[in-house]
Amino acid sequence: MSREWLLKQYSPLVKFISSVVGKHCEVVLHDLSRPESSVIAIENGYITGRKIGDAPTNLVLKVLQDKTYVEKDYIVNYKAISKEGNVFRSSSFFIKNEQNALVGMLCVNADVAHYAKVKELMEEFMGFKEEVMPQDIVHEETHAFEQLHGNVEDVLSAIIMQTIESFDVPPERMSVSEKMSVVRDLYDQGTFLLKGGVCEVAKMLKASEPTIYRYLHKIKEETTER
C-alpha cells in the first residue's frame, strides 16, 4: 500500500468534514513526506491564512519526533492558536501505513471565537447581577498546544522564539549549557526536521551553525545511549 494511495483515500474527507462542521472550521490534510510543504489539501484555510504547500505545525513536528503516533491513533480537543492570535479547538488523526509508520495527518481546527461570543451573550442574558463580566475564552492567557502558522519561516520562528523565551535569559547572555538546553528542547520538538532549522536556530541563539551542529551531535549521542 503506497503512501500516495493511502493519502488519496483521505483526501475526500477534507471536503466532507468541512461540509459537516461548517465554515468556521478548518480541515487540513498533511503529507509528511514533504516536511517543508506538507499541506496537500485544505478547506476553509482563510480562517488561519494557510494554503496548500504550507509547512506543518509545531505539533505535527513534535508528533513526528517523539513518535506519539506509535501508541495513539489520534489526539483530540487541544488548544491551538493562529498567527493572528485566534484560538481554536483542534484535533488530529494519525494516518499510518501497514508498518505503523506515520505518513500523514488529518487535522480539524474549530474557531471558538463565535462560540465564545454566544457564551458571553448567554451569560449576560442569564445573569441577575447589575454588572455581568463573563470571561472570553479568546483572551485567556493559557498556553497553546499548537501554533497554526503557514510557511516554514513562520513555523520555525514561532517555535524557536517560544523556546528561547521560556528560559528567561536573552541569547547573548546565555551560557553554553543554557544554549545546549535550548537546542535540546528544539530537537525534542522536531525543529530540525525542517530545512533551514539549524541556520535559523544559530541566528536566533547568536551562535554559529557549526556550534549548533556540534550540540546536535552530542544530543543525538546522548539519545542513542539511553
pLDDT tens digits, 92-112: 999 999 999 999 999 999 998
C-beta of residue 219 within 8 angstroms of C-beta of residue 201: no
Q: What amino acid is encoded at 43 in this protein?
A: E
Tell me the helices (H) and strands (E) count for the chain, helix number first. 7, 6
Residue 203 is predicted with a pLDDT of: 92
| Residue 14: its H or E element | helix 3-21
Which residue, chain included where needed, has cell 510557511?
Answer: 151
Distance of alpha carbon 107 from alpha carbon 105, whole angstroms: 6
Q: Is-above-0.85 flag for pTM?
A: no
Which residue is associated with the grid cell 495513539? 72
Query: Domain spanning 3-114+142-148 has what CATH number?
Result: 3.30.450.20
Domain layout of the chain by residue ranges: 3-114+142-148, 152-225
pLDDT of residue 225: 64
Q: How far is CA 87 from CA 51, 131, 223, in A?
A: 18, 26, 35
**How much is the pLDDT for 168?**
84
Q: For 10-35, what is each residue's pLDDT tens digit?
A: 999 999 999 999 999 999 999 999 88
C-alpha cell of residue 46: 482563510
